[in-house]
Chain A
Amino acid sequence: MAILTVLQAVNAALKQEMRRDDRVVVLGEDVGKNGGVFRATEGLYDEFGSDRVLDTPLAESGIIGTAIGMALYGLRPVPEIQFLDFIYPAFDQIVNELAKFRYRSGGQYPAPVVIRSPYGGGIRGGHYHSQSSEAYFAHTPGLKVVIPSTPYDAKGLLASAIRDEDPVLFLEPKRIYRTVKAEVPDTEYTVPIGVARIAREGRSCSIFCYGAMVHVALEAAEKAKEKGTEVEVVDLRSLVPLDEEAVLASVRKTGRAVVLYEAPRTGGFGAEISALIAERALEYLEAPIVRVAGFDTPFPYTLEHVYMPDARRVLAAVDRVMNF
């Protein structure tokens, strides 16, 4: 066991999987010699060489397009998109190609690519280094969307993603890259995709969240406890496939739901959670579902702290569902 940051856990997973399986290759901008701008791929180039760790030209459509080709030929490419905000030149390759290859070829051509990308706000990055656009991708059948919130899950989920037979968008909450540390086994392990995690148990109210927001929810839960409210925090870990049973079970237990995400409110993934609860657990609800999300504005710079959901705002939502 070692104490690792989320970032180090990502790095550990990449090393573990590259050692285990020589089909795994890493490609992207600055991932080689420089070890990635966040250092997620640190040491890979020295250990695995330039055939398996490729510094690519600056072209996201090229990175994903070639990764698809590599996957079709039997490799297990793990491309990095430097910031999720820069994924859009590859949107066509992801949405129209990667996500549909298995289906459109009648199952002949699966394309198991794992796209890793740091995402989310809280790092003073303005609108081009902060966006949370997971909903676009969760809206794309054929893609899995996985988001860890702890070092343990970062390692275990990334390992699972790399072993998965389907394309996975693996989103890394960069705000907690270095701030969240925990013990992570040195030994090989995986965490299954599609299983939510109860980050904190409670019986008064549930908060559904993922990524960096899990830590905001935990902070709010701690504060709520002072008022005697026992908040349950459900870390979804995987948006697609979604652990619907975990969501429904928690609502059935607490009867109150706060849905928390930092992306813009409208059409955000939290709307899907709200709909799921409304459709399948309405009779258990003691209060209307409350969403806490980013505003429907582009991500700002100076007023980032006003934009981002914080514990105060979550606590207010908890009060609302408790005092309905």
Chain B
Amino acid sequence: MTEALLQVLGTDQTVDGAHEPALAVDTLVRMLKTMILVRCFDERALNLQRSGRIGFHVPSSGQEACQVGAAAALTPRDWVFPSYREPGLFLWRGSALEALYNNLYGNSGDLAKGRQMPVHYTDRAHNVVSISSPIATQLPQAVGVAMAARIRKDPIVVLTGFGDGSTSASDFHVGANFAGVYRAPVVFLCANNQWAISVPFERQTASASVAIKAQAYGFPGVRVDGNDVLAVYQAVRDAAERARRGDGPTLVEAFTFRMGPHSSSDDPKRYRPEALCEEWKKRDPIERFGRYLTKKGLLSEAEVSSAWEAGRQATADAARAAERLPPPPVESLFEDVYAEMPPHLRRQLDELLEERKAGESVNTSQAFPL
């Protein structure tokens, strides 16, 4: 059994008035502009990778509605535990574009101090938690934040994002179970883009959907069109309200498609029919939402074009600024391992600084192969 797919904006340009959220025009326009910015960010990042200026990228093109629709349904006090494919969560919440590029460059301006691979952003100022590569580890952690907020009686909600493949990991099940048991105010947002690298959804699970898995853990699961930003907004807003009321977690499955490769090192032609990409291009979430706004007269075609222009300009400027920053200083290698640097690390740092007087090591690293 597959649950009905919640959709507000039909692919055929129809609108489901009953589910159309009552959002201020400003908000709607900002949602579109952020989605455009995410796409521009992504395209530039992939180009930077292709031209060897950054080492790696994980594109999110095609999944902008999942990110922006979800982010727009939260308040700034809420917490977010993103996966690596969700720069839109950061951008909506106010992270600077430069900050994201600084991370891609791993430079001295990077909030993670150049320690992580590209796309592993962090932004404490906006309650967005540092991203980890190991799949699904963020789920129980998000539940823990939600449990802590309940203990402290803070009316916040925690949202955590992950993919379809992540639902196979133990931490998905552990996180869902704890959330159910403690009725934690958490929203599980699964961007089901139907592949985990090369492995298709039907090889990942025998369940008919992701959403249905919530049932076993004692809370609701809903399935939405992940290329419909208003549907994602609607579902996450409902889930967040439920959580804030004290009614516990919800699993939101946003059914979508990644238009690009898994990462800059992946070739989807090896495992995914190209015709499918053509088909999904027709469901482009940005185009669909843009059409809705222009049809409603909330934005003119010219304003949409200038939003793209602005997005390209802003990303070009931010990337250029990031490229100018130097790498982090070698001392930073040894900082933040502990609150205070213990003697053995101090000694290793001193030895390194001494060694560097005789000359510096050459970077002979291979390009990231995956």
Q: Are A123 and B369 in contact (CB under 8 A)?
A: yes
Interface centre among A37, A61, A177, A303 (most CB of B within 10 A): A303
A110 to B121, CA, bound (A): 44
Chain A nearest CB, measured from B214 CB (Å): 18
A103 to B370, CA, bound (A): 38
A157 to B359, CA, bound (A): 38
Q: Are B361 and A33 in contact (CB under 8 A)?
A: no
The residues in A between 33 and 88 inclusive whose CB is less than 8 angstroms from any CB of B are 33-35, 37-38, 55-59, 61-62, 83, 85-86, 88
Q: Which residues of A sit under 8 angstroms from B364, Cβ to Cβ?
A: 122, 305, 310
A177 to B369, CA, bound (A): 10
Q: Are A34 and B367 in contact (CB under 8 A)?
A: no
Q: Which residues of B sit under 8 angstroms from A124, Cβ to Cβ?
A: 55-56, 117, 365-368
**Contact A127/B116 with A122-B364, A175-B366, A306-B330 known, Cβ cut-off 8 Å:** yes
Q: Are B271 and A123 in contact (CB under 8 A)?
A: no
**Contact A123/B367 with A301-B114, A306-B361 known, Cβ cut-off 8 Å:** yes
A62 to B302, CA, bound (A): 53
Contact of B199 among A30, A86, A297 (CB under 8 A): A30
B interface: dominant SS = loop
**Contact A301/B333 with A124-B366, A179-B366 known, Cβ cut-off 8 Å:** no
Residue of A whose beta carbon sits closest to that of B364: A305
Q: Binary interface profile of A, 107-151, with partner B (CB < 8 Å = 1, else 0)?
A: 000000000000001111111110000000000000000000000
Q: Are B198 and A298 in contact (CB under 8 A)?
A: no
Q: Are B116 and A301 in contact (CB under 8 A)?
A: yes
Q: Report how many residues on chain B are interfacial, defined by Cβ distance under 8 Å.
A: 55
**Contact A129/B370 with A295-B334, A295-B345, A312-B361 known, Cβ cut-off 8 Å:** yes
Q: Are B368 and A302 in contact (CB under 8 A)?
A: no
B133 interface residue per 8 A CB criterion? yes
Contact of A125 among B117, B168, B334, B362 (CB under 8 A): B117
A300 interface residue per 8 A CB criterion? yes
A29 to B204, CA, bound (A): 10
B50 interface residue per 8 A CB criterion? no
Q: Are B369 and A301 in contact (CB under 8 A)?
A: no
**Contact A307/B333 with A30-B199, A124-B367, A301-B114 known, Cβ cut-off 8 Å:** yes
**Contact A295/B348 with A58-B199, A305-B363, A310-B361 known, Cβ cut-off 8 Å:** yes
A89 interface residue per 8 A CB criterion? yes
Contact of B333 among A33, A300, A316 (CB under 8 A): A300
A266 to B360, CA, bound (A): 24
Q: Which residues of B sit under 8 angstroms from A55, Cβ to Cβ?
A: 198-199, 203
Interface residues of A (CB under 8 A from B): 29-30, 32-35, 37-38, 55-59, 61-62, 83, 85-86, 88-89, 121-129, 174-175, 177-179, 265-266, 295-298, 300-308, 310, 312-313, 316
Apart from the given pairs A58-B135, A123-B368, 16 other A-B contacts in the complex at a CB distance below 8 Å? A29-B196, A34-B271, A38-B369, A55-B199, A58-B169, A58-B204, A85-B133, A86-B133, A122-B366, A124-B365, A124-B366, A126-B117, A174-B369, A296-B344, A300-B115, A302-B106
A/B interface sample: 12 pairs, CB < 8 A: A29-B199, A37-B265, A56-B199, A58-B165, A85-B133, A126-B133, A128-B132, A297-B333, A298-B337, A301-B115, A304-B365, A308-B365
